[in-house]
């Protein structure tokens, strides 16, 4: 793992090795600082790099800009990366007899928006000042807006700094559980429930960390669970069932989730037990699908497509599929019909589950392919909730 890339907002790390995953979590904890700050002692400003190579912290009072030289820079890579990207916002807090200046990561915009009431319309990869009311705002003006709004609605906040950047601006009402403690706890609780969990994949980024475990095989169906969390204010903890198909997995709706990251061992245990029940339900539906042969397979596929899009329009975090996606599924179904003479509902399921990975890079308009893939995955996973009899009509 190259430590330098961890300063970048789009840093992400995926591994199939449990030891490497927990090593990454340990490294993140070592490079995490939590600052509980009274708003009276906090200032949001613009970070600028002068022609002479020095950094300045710029604040706006009325029409006058005040430029303060930053003499002590503990994380030069983080400063340079922030200015290079163009988002250029930073927070100043007291540190002993001096001030400490910390660049704000673009990832922090979700939690910063929660604290200030500022929403974002674009992708998570857009810069901090890119999506207010659909227009790009000069960094100095955006810094002033954040500063004013923070002071108007908060008394104190907790800044979560990771690898030299503020990754979240959270309320000061609770302290998040450590990611390593959470995932260690899940392993133990799963074993306490009588399962021997096998590590499948781990993922960590500045937004979230995620771990997939294999639990059991049932009538040819391999089931597992996924635990996802964010100690940076993006969300709480989510535990949900996954269907493992070779090196690929299909994630289903949350079986259990928390509103924030301040949770106990009892909460984790409740989440695990809820997920195990959800796993059994998914297994039954998938096994039933393997035995269901639609009478009108092409029309059946189109009706499934339309039903999933209706659900997607009602669900947060989902994307509606296009006719291009439908065509791709129909081609797979027609090929299986030609080879086998019939298809099962499960064959159709598998065809829909191919869409997210197949189309995540299909358009230049997609700024964040991983987020787009996740939204499509949420849409197609709902296929197990559909009644095949209602969709099997010409």
pLDDT (average), residues 22-41? 91
Residue 70 has pLDDT above 80, yes or no: yes
Mean pLDDT of 291-306: 96
pLDDT for the residue 302? 96
- Find residue 159's DSSP bridge partners: 35, 169
* pLDDT of 316 above 80: no
pLDDT at residue 365 above 60?
no
**pLDDT at residue 2, as a whole number:** 45
Total number of residues shown for the chain: 394
> If 0-12 CB within 10 Å is exposed, 13-18 middle and 19+ buried, where does residue 49 land?
middle
CA distance 88 to 81: 9
> How far, in Å, CA of 105 to CA of 123, rounded?
14
Sequence-distant (6+) residues with CB within 8 A of 86 are 127, 139
| Owner of token pair 């940076």 | 232
Angle value at C-alpha 77, between 37 and 207, nearest 5 degrees: 60
Q: What are phi and psi of 363, to 5 degrees?
A: -140, 140
Q: Give the pair of three-digit tokens for residue 319.
A: 């994307």
| Average pLDDT of the chain, as a whole number | 85
Confidence of residue 344 (pLDDT cuts 50, 70, 90): very high
Q: What is the pLDDT of residue 91?
A: 94
pTM of the entire predicted model: 0.81
Domains of the chain by residue range: 32-171, 179-290, 297-391
Does the pLDDT at position 372 exceed 80? no
Quickly state the pLDDT bin for 353 (edges 50, 70, 90): very high
C-alpha triplet 385, 386, 392: angle, nearest 5°: 160
Give the residue, 248 or 104, on which the prediction is more confident: 104
Which residue did the predictor score with more confidence, 105 or 367? 105
CA distances from 10 to 6, 97, 152, 281 (A): 8, 34, 31, 36
Q: Cα(140)–Cα(144) distance, rounded to whole angstroms?
A: 6
pLDDT the model gives residue 168? 87
pLDDT at 1: 43
The Cα 204–Cα 230 span in angstroms is 10
């Amino acid at each position: 793992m190259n430590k330098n890339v961890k300063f970048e907002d789009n840093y992400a790390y995926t591994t199939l090795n449990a030891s490497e995953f927990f090593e990454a979590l340990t490294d993140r904890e070592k490079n995490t600082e939590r600052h509980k700050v009274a708003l009276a002692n906090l200032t949001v400003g613009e970070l600028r790099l002068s022609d002479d190579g020095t950094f300045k912290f710029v604040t706006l009072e009325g029409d006058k800009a005040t430029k303060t030289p930053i003499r002590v820079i503990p994380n030069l890579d983080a400063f340079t990366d922030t200015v290079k990207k163009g988002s250029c916002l930073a927070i100043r807090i007291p540190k002993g007899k001096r001030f400490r200046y910390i660049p704000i990561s673009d990832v922090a915009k979700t939690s910063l928006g929660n604290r200030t009431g500022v929403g974002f319309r674009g992708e998570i990869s857009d810069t901090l000042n890119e999506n207010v009311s659909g227009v790009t705002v000069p960094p100095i003006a955006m810094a002033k807006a954040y500063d004013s709004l923070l002071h108007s609605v908060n008394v104190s906040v907790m800044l979560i700094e990771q690898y030299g950047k503020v990754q979240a601006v959270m309320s000061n009402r609770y302290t998040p559980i450590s990611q390593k403690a959470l995932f260690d706890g899940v392993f133990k609780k799963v074993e306490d429930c009588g399962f021997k969990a096998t590590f499948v994949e781990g993922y960590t980024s500045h937004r979230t960390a995620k771990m997939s475990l294999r639990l059991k095989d049932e009538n040819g169906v391999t089931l597992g669970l996924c635990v996802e969390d964010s100690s940076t204010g993006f969300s709480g903890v989510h535990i949900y069932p996954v269907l493992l198909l070779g090196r690929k997995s299909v994630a289903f709706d949350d079986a259990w989730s928390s509103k924030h990251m301040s949770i106990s061992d009892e909460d984790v245990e409740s989440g695990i037990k809820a997920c195990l029940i959800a796993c059994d339900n998914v297994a039954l539906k998938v096994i039933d699908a393997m035995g269901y042969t639609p009478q009108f397979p092409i029309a059946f596929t189109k009706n499934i497509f339309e039903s999933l899009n209706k659900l997607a329009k009602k669900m947060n975090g989902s994307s509606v599929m296009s006719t291009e996606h439908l065509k791709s599924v129909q081609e797979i179904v027609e090929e299986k019909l030609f080879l086998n003479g019939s298809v099962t509902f499960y064959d159709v399921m598998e065809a829909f589950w191919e869409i997210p990975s197949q189309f995540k890079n299909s358009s230049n308009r997609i700024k964040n392919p991983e987020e787009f893939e996740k939204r499509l995955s949420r849409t197609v996973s709902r296929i197990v909730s559909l009644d095949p009899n209602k969709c099997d009509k010409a």
